[in-house]
Structure 1
Amino acid sequence: MFNFLKKKELHEDGTFDESGVDAGDFVDQKPLDEKESEIYTDLSIHPEWHLPEEEVYVYRFLNQELPPLQPNQVSVYGVEIKEKDGGLIVDAFVRNSLSKGIQMKPAAIIILDKQGETVARQPFDLSAVGTIPGKSSRPWTFLFPPSSIRDSEKEIPAQGWRLALELKKKPTKHSLDLSDHWKESLPQEEAQRLHQLVDSMKPPKAGEVNFFGLDARQADNGDLHVTLLIRNGSEQGLTLRQLPLRFEDRSEEVVAEGGFKLKSLTVNMNTSKPWTFIFPAESLKKTGFGFVEMEGLSSTEVMEI
């Protein structure tokens, strides 16, 4: 149960719940046309909690002290924070200002200090909170393990802290990422063609990395040059230091395979980067084959990051 005596200072009159965010990012519920400009929430106890009346009274009192939400918002409003075994335990209310009941999606929750700096961040399966009735707040306790704390040496604030639901970044358009060497050496016409190709392709799924064949040709010395688009569909940069590749011809016979050690090849978030890999002539497993441009072939390998 929340510690009634150690609760943090709650809101001042006339202020909204600053942890409130648009519900559309966290629930499968369309916005409703709400007539009220500020919404106070009723207490909702999880149906599996069987509490004595005195505990329910404390929760009801704390809930009445909470600031109002704006229409179509959800919130995770922190009440008490305490340290345990190197981690943090936070007592909070999960709040819903919609008229209908909602079930929250999994999301990351952040603890912010008075200056708005992140103290800790931890993903939670908020569906465990259950269905939160319309215009209600449900008490819940969140455990932040030691690994979630940004600076273990920093003192945990007793006042001025708050919880926040981490907003998802809006996906940016998938684009071409050319290295400096490619920018300098690639003719403008070919660079424009690559831009058009990337724009015309269906982007990778969120979090997916795949490879798209662009070109394969044999040099005069017999080396096999294979050019690929490395397509990064994640919201973070991808650094490749070692990459195993296998090249097959159209009859699916292995022409060459090997591992490439790379000097920190980086593909920026949500971009595709062209790169050429060279298989030495002596490593080829098949001779007497012809080459055609690979553009238009489907991806042959997928990695999750």
Structure 2
Amino acid sequence: MNLFSFFKKTDKVGADSAIDSNQLVQDTEASSDNKEVTTKLSLHPEWNVPLEQQYVFSFLANELEPLKPNQLSLAAINIEEDKRNGAWYVKAFFRSSIPNNIELGEIGLIIVDKDGKRLASKEFDFKELGTLPPESARPWVFKFEKEYLETKEMPEDGWTIAFNLIALRGHQLELDESWKKQLPQEQQELLAKVVKELPKLGRKEVNFTGLQARVRDDNSLMVSIFIRNGNDQAINLEQLPLEIIDANGKLVAKGSFKMNPALTVQGNSTKPWTFIFPAKTVNAEGADLSRWTAKVVQ
């Protein structure tokens, strides 16, 4: 693995982004010592590092600030752009202040500028980094291909590479305050269970899943829908054109709903919402609503 050419004597260690280790690592031994931890340089065991390059790594590692006990961290160094394809090569130290070895799997990372604006996001397989020894720091290069970048401009000083905490927490149920007030705690827990059992969303996928449908006495149709956001950033819905299709493929209702204010669904979350189709937009005669689909009209 030849990453050595990316690290130079002129590099400087930049901003550090640290989290509590229990957000990523379960059942690990935690240190009860409150003293700050100075991490030691750890090179991948499969690397055959030239002596001069070892000096570069050692120099950079010595610039790292101590961590608090039981933390995982990413310390930014530099970004180089591949002029051929626009990819970013992000140099950083992956650091641990916990007192035992760790090995991680798929982890989402983000790049943010000095003002907190997100510039890129991507999932990486941390198994490639190998086992990280206790209280150590391992240099690595994270490649963000152009498709994962959310800006055309390279960041200035003060940028950070960080763990994507929204992606880490797992997909969650998001209830509007009005739903929280109306639903007993048992029903809220049941909805959360249903959300967890739904098929996993794709990256950046937004999905509309039917929850409940009922034709009312005035022949209007009331439907409750799960709005599922697979992005790790919030989405805002201002206008939603919907069709309701029954179990036999019959168009039961069609209408467009204007959200004022916009309906926000937080990143990596599912929010249930209720829509009422006026009777004049509903054709429920002979409809089979034992199963139905909500379709967003393009």
TM-score, normalised relative to structure 2: 0.69
The letter of the residue matching 2:61 is N
The letter of the residue matching 2:124 is D
Q: Deviations over 1:119-144 (max 9, x none)?
A: 62222314232221211111110123
For residue 90 of structure 1, what is the aligned residue in structure 2? 90
1:262 aligns with 2:256: yes
Q: Deviations over 1:96-128 (max 9, x none)?
A: 111111223433333344x43436222231423
Distance in 1 (CA, whole Å) between partners of 2:160 and 2:42 is: 21
RMSD: 4.0
- For 1:143-222, what aligned pairs fall within 5 Å after superposition? 143-152=143-152, 154=153, 156-157=155-156, 159-168=157-166, 174-176=174-176, 194-196=182-184, 199=188, 201-203=190-192, 204-205=195-196, 209-217=208-216, 219=218
Q: How many residues align?
A: 265
Alpha-carbon deviation of 1:25?
A: 1.9
The letter of the residue matching 1:202 is L
Distance in 2 (CA, whole Å) between partners of 1:192 and 1:160 is: 40
Contact 1:119–1:149 (CA<8 Å) still a contact in 2? Answer: no
The letter of the residue matching 1:140 is W
For residue 35 of structure 2, what is the aligned residue in structure 1? 37
SS in 2 for 1:60: helix
SS in 1 for 2:102: coil
For residue 204 of structure 2, what is the aligned residue in structure 1? none
2:56 maps to which of 55, 58, 61:
58
Distance in 2 (CA, whole Å) between partners of 1:192 and 1:78 is: 41
From the superposition, tell whether residues 194 and 276 of structure 1 become closer, same or farther in structure 2 (CA, over 3 Å).
farther
Contact 1:175–1:271 (CA<8 Å) still a contact in 2? Answer: yes
- State the identity as a percent: 22
From the superposition, tell whether residues 267 and 111 of structure 1 become closer, same or farther in structure 2 (CA, over 3 Å).
closer
The letter of the residue matching 2:80 is K
| Residue ranges of structure 2 left out of the alignment (5+ in a row) | 202-206
Contact 1:256–1:283 (CA<8 Å) still a contact in 2? Answer: no
- For 1:1-305, what aligned pairs fall within 5 Å after superposition? 1=4, 2-8=6-12, 10=13, 18-30=16-28, 32-85=30-83, 86-113=86-113, 115-118=114-117, 120-127=119-126, 128-152=128-152, 154=153, 156-157=155-156, 159-168=157-166, 174-176=174-176, 194-196=182-184, 199=188, 201-203=190-192, 204-205=195-196, 209-217=208-216, 219=218, 224-234=219-229, 236-237=234-235, 239=237, 241-247=240-246, 254=248, 256-258=250-252, 260-263=254-257, 267-269=263-265, 270-277=270-277, 283=283, 286=286
Q: Which has the larger radius of gyration?
A: 1
Distance in 2 (CA, whole Å) between partners of 1:56 and 1:162 is: 24
Alpha-carbon deviation of 1:95?
A: 0.8
From the superposition, tell whether residues 117 and 271 of structure 1 become closer, same or farther in structure 2 (CA, over 3 Å).
closer
SS in 2 for 1:5: coil
The letter of the residue matching 1:230 is I
Alpha-carbon deviation of 1:36?
A: 4.9
TM-score, normalised relative to structure 1: 0.68
From the superposition, tell whether residues 150 and 156 of structure 1 become closer, same or farther in structure 2 (CA, over 3 Å).
same
Contact 2:215–2:221 (CA<8 Å) still a contact in 1? Answer: yes
The letter of the residue matching 2:104 is M
Contact 1:29–1:102 (CA<8 Å) still a contact in 2? Answer: no
Distance in 2 (CA, whole Å) between partners of 1:80 and 1:123 is: 17
Contact 1:211–1:231 (CA<8 Å) still a contact in 2? Answer: yes
SS in 1 for 2:99: coil
Distance in 2 (CA, whole Å) between partners of 1:31 and 1:232 is: 39
| Residue ranges of structure 1 left out of the alignment (5+ in a row) | 12-16, 179-190, 249-253
Alpha-carbon deviation of 1:301?
A: 5.2
SS in 1 for 2:54: helix
Distance in 1 (CA, whole Å) between partners of 2:74 and 2:30 is: 20
SS in 1 for 2:61: helix
SS in 1 for 2:53: helix
